[in-house]
Structure formats: C-alpha cells, structure tokens
Structure 1
Amino acid sequence: MSLYKNLFKQTLIYGLATVIPRLISFVLNPIYVLYLSDKSKMGEVSVIFSYLVFFNVVLSYGMETAFFRFYSAEGNDKKNVISTATVSLFWSSLGFLALGLLSRNALADWSGIRVEYITYTIWILALDALAVIPFSKLRAERKPIKYAAIKIGNVSISLLLTLFFLAVLPQLAKNNPDGIFDMIYFRNYQIGYIFISFVAASLATFLVLIPNYTNISWHFDKELWKRMMTYGLPILFAGIAFAINEHFDKILLDWLHVPLSEIGAYSACYKIGMFMVLFRTAYTLGIEPFFFSHASNENAQQTYATITKYFVIFGSFICLFVIAFVDLLKQVLVPNPDYWDAMKVVPLIVLANFFLGIYTNLSVWYKLIDKTKIGAYISIVGALITLLLNWILIPTMSYYGSAVATLAAYGSMMVISYKMGQKHYPIPYDFNRIFSYLGLAIVFSAVSFYIPYLRENYPVKFALLALFLYFIYRSEKETLLRILKRKAK
C-alpha cells in the first residue's frame, strides 16, 4: 500500500510541475494580447517560440530518456551514467552556444528575425539544454518536490518579469521621466523584453542546478555513450515528429509568407484549445502508472476499454463546453477584438487535441507489449501529414489550413493506433457509446458555433449542454447507480 501511496504522491507532484507551467501560459497569452496590440509582434513571438520548441528537442537528442533507461538498468554504475550524460550535453550545449552566437547575423538574415532576438533564443536553448540531465537526475533520485519547485519557479520568474517589463516598467518610466526606470526602459521593445524574461528564468534555473556540474567526476565513458546514443536517437526522431505536429505550423506559415499579423491572431486563438491540452496532460500523468500496474490483471483489457469510454465522456463535455462558450472565454484569454478574426480555428484545434487525447488512450497497447518504436512511427506519419497538408492548404486557406492539418494529423494517428492495436492487443472498446458521445458533442458544438442565431444565444447553449449530460446519464445510468450503491455501503 505504501508503494502505491508513494507512486500517487510523486505522480501528483510531477503533475503539478507539468500542469502549472501550462496554466501560466494561459496567463501569459492575455498579457501578450493586451500589450502586443500589433498582431505582427505576436506573430513574431509565436514563430520564435516554435523554433524554441523544435530546437529544444534537437539539443537534448533523446539523452533524457536514455539517461533513465541506463540509470535504472542493472549492472550499470549510476555515477558513470550521470557523468557521461552530463559531459555529453554540456559540451554539445556549449558547442551550440558558440556556433549559434558566431552565426547569429546569418541566422537573422535567413529568418528575418532581429539579431538580438536570435541571441536571446540561443541563450535560452543552451541554458535549457544544460538543465536536462540535472532535472532527470532529480527525478531518478526521487526528489519530486525539489523538481517541481524549480520547474514552477522557472515559469513564475518568466511570468513576473514579463508583467514587470510590459505593464509596470512603462508606467514607472512615464511617472519618472528623468529617473532610473526611464533610463532602462526601451520603447517598442516588447518582444525583446519577453525573451529577456525567459533568458533570466533559464539562467536562474541553471544557477540553482549548477551543483550537479560541480559534484560529478567528469568521467566520459565512450562505449556507454555510444549505447546511450543508439537508444536515444529514435526518441529524438519521435520528439521531432511531435514538435512538428504541435508547433511547426507557425514556422511553415512564416515560410509560406503568411503575414505575421495573421500568424499572431492564429497563435493567440490557438491557446483556447489549451483547455483540452490541460485535461489530456493531467489525465495522462495520472493514468499511465495505472495502465502498467494493472497490465497483469485478468480483466485488464476490459478495464482499459472502460477507462477510454469515460475519457471520451469527460473530453466530449469539455469539447462542447469550450466551443459553446468560446465567445465568453475569448474575453479573458484573448482580450483584444483585433485578434478575434482567427476564432474560427478554435473548434478544429479543440477537437484535434481531443483526438490526441483519445490516441494517448489507444496507445497503451504498444507500451504494454514493449513496442514503443511503433509510437515513434505513428508520430512520424502524423508529422508527414502535418507537413504535407500545411504545404497544400496554407497558400489558399492561410492559418485555417494549418488548423485543418492539425485535426487531420491527430485524427489519423488515432485511427492508425486503433487499427494496429486491435491486431496486436485487442481491447473490447464500447464503440457504439463512444461514437454516440463523441458524435453528439461534435454536432452540438457545430450547431452552437456555426449557426449565427445561436452564437450568442446562451439559454440554448445551456440547454444543449444539459441535453448532452442527460444523454450521458441515461446511457450510463446503471453504472452510476452501482457506484453510488458502493459508496453508500
């Protein structure tokens, strides 16, 4: 019992360390929208952030996962694994930092991004890469509280500094025109201040973690490193595929000459889909340990089928709620009417993230039979669909084509995983009910969003939500009554 209690405790803490930064991104989005009134600036920030995500994956080159694999393997010297992984990422990060700074002017000319923004991005990437193994070591040594504190501290610093630079500093400079705040305040430099905030947060994190570099032997085991790289490279390709599916659309929009103002509006409204991302992330963190611990049970497949059905129930409700009341949510999350011309992508993005959540449920089969490479292959297929459809659709549909591509990619991954899973690890999903819940949520969402008369008719929207919940109750009445009787006893 203590084992499961400890597992739940660590999962909760790691969950907070993952979910809270995403929640803070909710807070940052309206701040950016309010203080980057020029949508093209928001577009530029979004493109740079997309590059950050992509190169974060490249600069860790699967070493984080390889570290866990070899650290936990019997017969390995843990200190040797820590030292080898640390030395590898240390020198690769410094090499990237030196090469990036030397070529920053060429990168600025190629990308069209100001050279100082390129410089900030290079520093953020290098500092974040240097933190990969220290964070992994904290997890391996089961120090979840310290891990969570540092992670949450990082995003808190970036949030507070962003608020200071964008909201507080201009007022201080205005109220004291000859004071120190006016001297350090640069007008029309909002994008620079955003990335300065992230540099400061990454630097603070690295300084907290620097004892991990001073307390190792700096021994480099070449043979161990080769084995770690062999293990980690497939993870790298899977990570690149994931980054393409999640963020590369903004880069492609820029490459295909979509105006930065349109990219900015798209990126801001895209964030509303984060409600489904938060649900999916919290669910995954909580349920994956259960999947593995329950795998040897006689009724494991039936349990997985039931869990998937209830994921669809909760996800369908969230999908319907967000899309039906999106015009209220945009007042808080995108509080600038100039950005609202991109609201049409919200239903597609919410549904796409829902499909990704269903895919996460369906992917349990290849994890349980130790065929995790299949997950990488499916992600690569999704990435190819993302790239192809973006390339085809963006010239005629702009960012709406990117939203369609995201939906198609995640929908395809969901279907592929189901088809393959039923061949290798059959699970008796209740598809009649799953499709009825999903289909009803999609129909009600479409009705409430696309019919002009109902767009702001909230009594009807509440009625649709109530009707959906009543349908769930009628369908799941027997199960709900059994649960209530158990609690009563």
Structure 2
Amino acid sequence: MSILKKLAGETLSYGFSTILGRSLNFLLVFVHTWAFLPAELGINVKLYGYMAIANIIYTYGMETAYFRFAKEAHQKYYNIILSAIILSSGLFTLILFLFSDPLMAQLGYAGKGVFLKWLALILAIDAITAIPFARLRLEQKIKKFVLAKIISILINVGLNLFFLVGLKPLHDGLWGANWPHFLHDLYDPSIGAGYIFLANLLANASLFYWLGAEFKSFQWEWSWAEFKSLWIYSYPIMFMSLAAMFNVMFDRLLLEEYLPEGFYPGQSSQDALGIYGNCYKLSVFMSLAIQAFKYSAEPFFLGQKNSSNSKENLALVTHWFVIVCTFLWVGVSSNLFWIQQLFLKRAIYWEGIGVVPILLLANLLLGIYYTQSVWFKQTNKTYMGTIITLVGLTVTILGNIIWIPVYGYMACAWSFLLSSAIMTLMCYWGGQIYDPTPYRWKEMLLYLVLGALAIISGRLLVDIRIPKLLSQNVGLLLLLLFMMLKELDWKGGKPSIKIN
C-alpha cells in the first residue's frame, strides 16, 4: 500500500506540472488552428515529427543510463554523462546548421533553412537540460522540477499568443488600421507558422536560468572506459527509443506520401496531414498520464536498491496504472462531442475525430509496454527492447504503406494500435521468461474490454432523448461502479484499496 501512496503522490506532483503544462500547450491547438489553415500547419506537423526522432539521437539513452549508474557514483556519472551530451549536442547542431538549407529544400520547404536552425538549437537545449532534470528526479526535488517546466511552458504559451493572437491579426488588419506602422511590421508573413518554432526556442532557453544550480555543480570530467560502459548500456535504449518514436511518428511521415490524390474530396494530402496531426493531439491526455508515471516510476525502479521496488509491487502498480488509463480512455472518447468543439475551432478538423479513441487505446498499450520494460533495463538486456520495438516499427510501416491508400488516416491509427498491442505482448512474454513478474493480466484485460464496451454504449445511446452528456457517459459511470465494488474494501464504512 505504501508503494502505491508513494508513487501516486509523486505521479500526481509530476502530473500537476505535466498536465498544467500540456493543458496550456494544448490551448495552443486552439490558437494554431485559429491562426492557420491545415496546409499551413503541415510544416509544423512534419518538422516536429522529425524533431521528436532527432531528440532521441541527441540524448542517445544517457538519461536512462544515468538512473542505472548514478546509484554507484552519483556526481561522477553526472559529470561524465553531461560532458558527453554537451560535446555531442554541439557537433549535431553544427551539422544541422551547415546543411539546413539543402535539407529543408529536400523536404519541400526551400528558403526555410532558418526554421531548421531554430529546431537544432531547441534540440541542443533539450538534450543538455535532460540530465539536470534527471538529477532533480533522482534526488526527488519535485518542486524545482515542476517550477522550471511550468515557467518554460508559460513563456512558450505567452510568446505564441503575442505572435499569433497579437501581431498576426494586427498585421492582417483584424484589429483595425489605427495602429502605428511599426507594429504592423513586427509580424513577418514569410515566417508564418515558423513563429511556433521561435516561441519554442526562446522558452527553452529560459531553462538554463532555472537549472543554474545544477549546472554550477557540474564539472567537466571524462573517462573513455566509463563512457564505453555507459554506451554499451545506453545505445540499445537509443535504438529502442528511435524505433518507438518512429512507431509513433511514422504515420504522419507516410500519410502525405501514400495518400492518393483526391482521396478526401476537396482536400489535398497536406490538408489530411494537418487534420490527422491536430486530431492526434487530442490523444495527449493519455500521454500525460504515461509521462507523469514514468517521471516517478523510472528513478524508483531503476535508481534505488530496496525491497519496496519488488516484482509484486511492480505488478500492483501496473494494475492500477491500467485502471487509471482505462478511465482516461473512456472519459475522453465518450466526450469528444464537446471536446472537439472546444479545442478544434474549425469544423474541417472534426472530420478526423474518429481516430482519437483508437490512438488513445494505442497509447494506453504503449504505456503498459513502458511499465513492463523495467525487466530488460534491470537485467541489462536492453537489446531486447530494441528487438521488440523494431518489430513494432515494422508493423507500423507495413500497415501504413498497405492501408493508407485504402483507408486514409484511419489506417495510421489502426496500424499504431496493432503495433502497440504486439509490442506489449512481446514485452510481457520476454519478461516472464527472463525476469518473471506476477502481473494481473486477466484483470487488466477485463478492464480494457469493459472500457471498449463503455465507449460503444455511448454510440448505441446517441439517439435516445436524454441529455447527450448523460447518454455518452453511462458506460463510464457503470465502469466506475464496477471498479469501486471490485477494487475497494468498504468494511467499516471507509473505503480502502484491496491489495490482493
């Protein structure tokens, strides 16, 4: 019970910053879809897709390696890993700067090389600050972690509002003509959606100030022998993360390429990419829960040596992780009828809303995979994670290539779901062979089935003459009742969690 309280408390703390930050960032979907048409946002969807992949290369698994090795010599490995990240980030960023123009031309955005330079700097800052943030997590300095993250996000949101809600409408004449000319000229239409990148860069730069103490404690230190040990442990994690990120992002990279011309009447492939990419953002609710849980669980199960991070506790934690995420899946899916109107302000984006329940479930399964992956990180069999995610990536690629010409962006969602399911099953099977954990898989499967039925029930009750908010959430309420009866002990009038 204490392990649940501990991880729940830390997850809620990290979750507060993650949810608040992502919620503020999520409001930017409203701003971006108000300011730009889908085709205009296509460059952001595509470049942020590549950026997510590049971010893994910039950190190359060293964050997880830090958790694994820091318990042996805290400051030593902090210095060595951060030294390595600073060197490699500088090299990668220099390469992107030198080849920014031809790379952007190859991607179909000639003359936009400055965007890639901004993204390269964002990547360098993200990688360099990742290790100080990991140190805060390991030392359980949650408040400082939360403060730095939230302030950076507030700056990003503020700059987006300044550029896109303030300067852009002023330049376009929406705020009237009685403004000084220099204010009109502050917005450059040729940058357009690139202001989203610029706001991101300026916000990220503020992290150096908030992490000042962590950088002051850093001392340049190097050892090829130690780095070799770190690299042997971390490079399979890098390939695993790359494969996992390709698995998540590859659909957006393939959709524009394989979608037949005129598949969606009156829309280009860039329109379809913009619609799918922004509907995909509605699955952020599941990502929030997974990210917050990882922030607390990873340093606990990898960075400590104690009896509380036992296999039984891991199974218990995973059980409740599935329950919470199932409620998120059902809750969001059952309320898309008003969520879409709140966050996707143009009706053209609503056409792709059917992908959201599928993507939420896919992310839920991916979260289970991440939770189970503790076994190959603890046993130093990180190469197993690479194999599993490469299989998942193969499924994603083949599914998209075969099905996009037939089903459009729905194929992207279903391919991601199939891939996540296969990865989860492979990880479970491998863990039971090499490091068995008594997961309550039958109960977890039951919650997933009941969650699916709860979502379907809303579709069946849509035409009944009762308030839509009630008809769409009947299944959610029944699921809540089932969980309270099954998981809670009501003896004595005060509910408590049943451990067995």
> Which of the five TM-score ranges fits, normalised by the shorter chain?
0.7 to 0.9
Of the candidates 458, 476, 479, which is equivalent to residue 465 of structure 1?
476
Query: What do the CA deviations read for 1:276-312 (whole angstroms, capped 9, x no partner)?
Result: 22233334445567767898479x6665555444443
Residue type of the partner of 1:232?
S
Which residue is equivalent to 1:115?
113
Q: Is 213-222 or 158-167 further displaced after alignment?
A: 213-222
Distance 1:449 1:236 in 2: 41
Query: What do the CA deviations read for 1:226-257 (whole angstroms, capped 9, x no partner)?
Result: 33323321221122122112223212224446
Q: CA RMSD in A?
A: 3.7
Which residue is equivalent to 1:391?
401
Residue type of the partner of 1:319?
W
Distance 1:372 1:251 in 2: 27
* Alpha carbons 2:392, 2:419 under 8 Å: kept: yes
Query: What do the CA deviations read for 1:291-334 (whole angstroms, capped 9, x no partner)?
Result: 67898479x66655554444433333332222222111111122
Q: By how many angstroms is 1:218 displaced?
A: 3.7
Where does structure 2 lack aligned partners over 5 or more consecutive residues?
Answer: 261-268
Where in structure 2 are the equivalents of 1:30-109 lying within 5 Å?
30-36=30-36, 38-74=37-73, 78=75, 81-109=77-105
Q: By how many angstroms is 1:462 displaced?
A: 3.4
Q: By how many angstroms is 1:57 displaced?
A: 0.8
Distance 2:295 2:164 in 1: 34
Q: How many residues align?
A: 480
* Alpha carbons 2:327, 2:451 under 8 Å: kept: yes
Where in structure 2 are the equivalents of 1:112-261 lying within 5 Å?
112-113=108-109, 114-139=112-137, 143-173=141-171, 174-175=175-176, 176-187=178-189, 189-206=191-208, 209=211, 218-256=220-258, 259-261=269-271
Q: By how many angstroms is 1:467 displaced?
A: 3.4
Where does structure 1 lack aligned partners over 5 or more consecutive residues?
Answer: none
Distance 1:367 1:227 in 2: 14
Distance 1:315 1:100 in 2: 38
* Alpha carbons 1:42, 1:265 under 8 Å: kept: no
> Is structure 2 residue 357 aligned with structure 1 residue 359?
no
> Is structure 2 residue 24 aligned with structure 1 residue 24?
yes
Residue aligned with 1:223, SS: helix
> Is structure 2 residue 296 aligned with structure 1 residue 280?
no
Go from structure 1 to structure 2 and tell me whether the alpha carbon gap of 1:480 and 1:375 turns closer, same or farther (over 3 Å shift): farther
Query: What do the CA deviations read for 1:325-356 (whole angstroms, capped 9, x no partner)?
Result: 21111111222211111111112111112222
Where in structure 2 are the equivalents of 1:401-480 lying within 5 Å?
401-449=411-459, 453=463, 457-473=468-484, 476=486, 479-480=488-489
Q: By how many angstroms is 1:451 displaced?
A: 8.2
Go from structure 1 to structure 2 and tell me whether the alpha carbon gap of 1:310 and 1:12 turns closer, same or farther (over 3 Å shift): closer
Residue type of the partner of 2:203?
A
Query: What do the CA deviations read for 1:197-240 (whole angstroms, capped 9, x no partner)?
Result: 01111222245557766775545333333333233212211221
Q: By how many angstroms is 1:85 displaced?
A: 3.2
Greater share of helix residues, 1 or 2?
1
Residue type of the partner of 1:201?
A
Residue type of the partner of 2:424?
M
Distance 2:257 2:129 in 1: 31
Residue type of the partner of 1:90?
I
Which residue is equivalent to 2:263?
none
Residue aligned with 1:407, SS: helix
Distance 1:335 1:355 in 2: 30
Q: What TM-score, normalized to structure 2?
A: 0.83
Distance 2:42 2:275 in 1: 7
* Alpha carbons 2:7, 2:297 under 8 Å: kept: no
Kindly, what percent of the aligned residue pairs are identical? Answer: 30
* Alpha carbons 2:64, 2:234 under 8 Å: kept: yes
Go from structure 1 to structure 2 and tell me whether the alpha carbon gap of 1:136 and 1:459 turns closer, same or farther (over 3 Å shift): closer
Distance 1:17 1:332 in 2: 22
Q: Is 401-410 or 222-231 further displaced after alignment?
A: 222-231
Q: By how many angstroms is 1:442 displaced?
A: 0.9
Q: Is 159-168 or 65-74 further displaced after alignment?
A: 65-74
Go from structure 1 to structure 2 and tell me whether the alpha carbon gap of 1:454 and 1:129 turns closer, same or farther (over 3 Å shift): farther
Residue aligned with 1:72, SS: coil
